[in-house]
Amino acid sequence: MRLFLSRRIPEFTRLLLIESGSRYILDNLLPGLYQIYKDKLQVDLVTCFQGEPAGLRQSARIYRVWDYPDSSSRERLLRELRAHHYTVCGIICSGEPVMTKWKWWLALRIPAKVFILNENGDYYWFDYSNWRMMLHFVFFRLGLTGADAVTTITRLLMFPFTLCYLLLYAAIIHLRRKVRA
């Protein structure tokens, strides 16, 4: 995760996309990227899905996670990805539990500037200057924004009382059985 402490955006020449969400997100993203950066952009993909996203060029390398089942093969994948010298790494964070460990493992280990892409096609750069955006993103995923925030916070506050009530109820029931026996 290079350039976390820098606001500098590197040139889009080598892009590694980690498809850790629905395929339609990349289907919408790729044509726009190719239109903006033309032939200067080389895109490679790490995915767990069959097939290819629409609009991915034939020159793109596709790495499928099921080809790397053990730690030695994952280290081989990491060495190969590092050898390509990616300038930018894009991660889909769409609220789906797809490749969660893979995407963060790769984001930490690939020396490239990381951007986070959500299910709406919105993105932000993963650096210190976007800490408010990252915090809002985490709160949104936890259900702590908007109308859901009141419900979620109420549940969190009521949990200890509910747990104590259930434990007390179970203790009383078991104590009654012992007294009757």
Question: Would you list the domain boundaries of the chain?
Answer: 14-141, 143-181
The tokens for 82 are 């590092």
pLDDT at 120: 80
Per-residue pLDDT at 3 exceeds 70: no
The tokens for 9 are 């955006």
**What CATH code is assigned to 14-141?**
3.40.50
pTM across the whole model? 0.73
Instruction: Residue 106: name the closest of 82, 138, 127, 126 by CA.
Output: 82
pLDDT at 77: 94
Higher pLDDT, 75 or 127: 75
When pLDDT is averaged across residues 20-24 and rounded to a whole number, the result is 84
pLDDT tens digits for range 148-178: 788 888 888 999 999 999 999 999 999 999 9
Instruction: Residue 42: name the closest of 67, 68, 18, 12 by CA.
Output: 12
Per the prediction, the chain carries an average pLDDT of: 88
pLDDT at 2: 63
